[in-house]
Chains A and B, each alone.
Chain A
Amino acid sequence: MPNVMIRKNETGALLFYVAKKDMEETIASVEQDSAERWGGEVALTDGSRWYIDPISPPPSFPTTLRFRRVDD
């Protein structure tokens, strides 16, 4: 369960950054992304999938959140 820093890049896309893992990926899709809730399963552009319990109200970015890897 790494601590992930989520921030917006210049184009407004969300970046998924894990400091010590040397990982910076763009978030492709978020399961729940509405005015009330943000979270659920998060897919990255490299194909990996991560999970976070939906947060309500949605967090303001940048922020650090704890994600879990989705095993399938």
Chain B
Amino acid sequence: MSNMTLEETKALIQEVLEAYPDKARKDRAKHLAANDQSVEQSKKCIISNRKSQPGVMTIRGCAYAGSKGVVWGPIKDMVHISHGPVGCGAYSRAGRRNYYTGHTGVNTFGTMNFTSDFQEKDIVFGGDKKLEKLIDEIEQLFPLVKGVSVQSECPIGLIGDDIEAVAKKKTKEHGKPVVPVRCEGFRGVSQSLGHHIANDAIRDHVLGNRDDQAFESTPYDVAIIGDYNIGGDAWSSRILLEEMGLRVVAQWSGDGTLPEMELTPKVKLNLIHCYRSMNYISRYMEEKYSIPWMEYNFFGPTKIAESLRKIAAFFDETIQANAEKVIEKYQAEYEAVIAKYRPRLEGKKVMLYVGGLRPRHVIGAYEDLGMEVVGTGYEFAHNDDYDRTIKEVDNATLLYDDVTGYEFEEFVKRVKPDLIGSGIKEKYIFQKMGVPFRQMHSWDYSGPYHGYDGFAIFARDMDMTVNNPCWNSMQAPWLKPAAAETEATAASA
């Protein structure tokens, strides 16, 4: 952070912590840190993946959100039943904008909401019969469905329904995978455990399905893992890989299908974008099928070029030459983007607070635009995420894990960033405080942001937000001092 030293950042953290009672302060202190690149292991400076303090405002989700909303939901040719009361599915329906191609309701089901709509009698007498009926109905109404996943909501675990038995019976009956997922919301401290549970369910019920089938493979088969195609992200990543001469066999799970996932064990390399939500399955595939995996980053031209070269290094010289060609091909395009937006965004400060991979992955894209990330934090990261983050951000940058509403506001008041990237729950607070804001969970209804095509959109969106004329109108005209007014008119003219 250019304008704050390590001591100043530490002092700021102490000052913000002052407001808490002793016990809460002790706990929260472990989650806030000033980045120090000399620290080798993040657990020495920041604690993560712990239960949130009662009484503070947290922005985390639940295990069901991690499983149904993130990992399973985007698989387009399966029906994902929100098993339990109606709300969880209804309020999360289609919110994440995982784009896909297909005819919704015929062969794809991404934006539809299927729920068993638990009533009192289902809680009292159990909901297994209802689930059976529901699966039969789905089979009847949507014969093109490739499989069904049962995403448990809290009551399923509480009343002890045996969804595994139902799933087993129905798998046999319909000859299609019915996957029970034990992702009850109360499990774990955040959505992160939901990702893990979902990965385990894929491992147990999907991955091995085609082990004994022949597959015409090429030496260039890869799978995109952990790209959820938000606003078309996976598509703008996929074309780069295909231009390099690689064959993308599967997309996990944005615009992905069940057969694609079943074929993933046949690929030569797993490319993993969102490390947090899908490293588990990559590790498993490495062990069982000896498929190496690597993390890559498709945000901003610098990181894209770096990643393309790193990916190409796994393959032969043709691919390596192709990677250079791809970078060259898009060079004029991204240089024009930088030339246009960099002067408008140079030196602006950004604070991020998102989940998954973005708090560290998008830093490169901001830096390409001359912007500076002065604070970053994760909702549900583990230590391994912070291990990776420490190297990405500058010294003395503010790091906050599972930040509370109060802390985030105080940090913003003091650090005074020019842009905040966070979720919808924070958006209006900061906009009312007069700070430009981008909702970075689903790209503020824009996107894609991955790849070279995405970078152009990313740059445009950041400029549109930071340099929006509305930020000069935060004060009512009659409250403005006369001098400032003339200045403002002069500036805008």
Considering only CB atoms and an 8 Å cut-off, how many residues of chain A contact the other chain? Answer: 13
CA distance A19 to B382 in the complex (A): 11
Asked if A5 CB lies within 8 Å of chain B CBs, one says: yes
Chain B nearest CB, measured from A2 CB (Å): 15
Q: Determine the chain A residues whose CB is within 8 A of the CB of B30 once the complex forms.
A: none
- Cα A63 to Cα B283 with chains together (Å): 10
Q: Do B287 and A64 touch across chains, with their CB atoms under 8 A apart?
A: yes
With a CB–CB cut-off of 8 A, which chain B residues contact A72? Answer: none
Q: Is A51 an interface residue (CB 8 A)?
A: no
Chain B residues closer than 8 Å to A24, beta-carbon distance: 383-384, 387
The answer to whether B287 and A5 touch across the interface, beta carbons within 8 angstroms, is yes
Instruction: Determine if A62 is an interface residue (Cβ-Cβ < 8 Å).
Output: yes
A17 interface contact, C-beta 8 A: yes
Q: How many residues of B contact A (CB 8 A)?
A: 12
Chain B residue contacts of A22, Cβ below 8 A:
49, 382-384
Which residues of A lie under 8 Å from residue B280 when comparing CB positions?
A: 19
Kindly count the residue-residue contacts between A and B in the assembled complex, taking CB atoms under 8 Å apart: 25
- How far in angstroms is the closest Cβ of chain B from A14? 13
Q: Which residues of A contact B196 (CB under 8 A)?
A: 19-20
Binary flags per residue of A28-72, CB closer than 8 Å to B gives 1, else 0: 000000000000000001100000000000000011100000000
- CB <8 Å contact, B41 and A46: yes
- Is the CB–CB distance between B383 and A5 below 8 Å? no
Q: How far is the CA of A14 from the CA of B40 in the complex (A)?
A: 17
User: Interface readout for B449-477 with A: 1 if CB under 8 Å, 0 if not?
Assistant: 00000000000000000000000000000
Give the shortest distance, in Å, between A69 (CB) and chain B (any CB). 17
Tell me the bound Cα distance from A46 to B384 in angstroms: 14
Binding site for A on B (CB under 8 A): 40-41, 49, 196, 280, 283, 286-287, 382-384, 387
25 sample A-B contacts, Cβ–Cβ < 8 Å, listed by A number = A5-B283, A5-B287, A7-B283, A7-B286, A7-B287, A17-B283, A19-B196, A19-B280, A19-B283, A20-B196, A22-B49, A22-B382, A22-B383, A22-B384, A23-B383, A24-B383, A24-B384, A24-B387, A45-B40, A46-B41, A62-B283, A62-B286, A62-B287, A63-B287, A64-B287
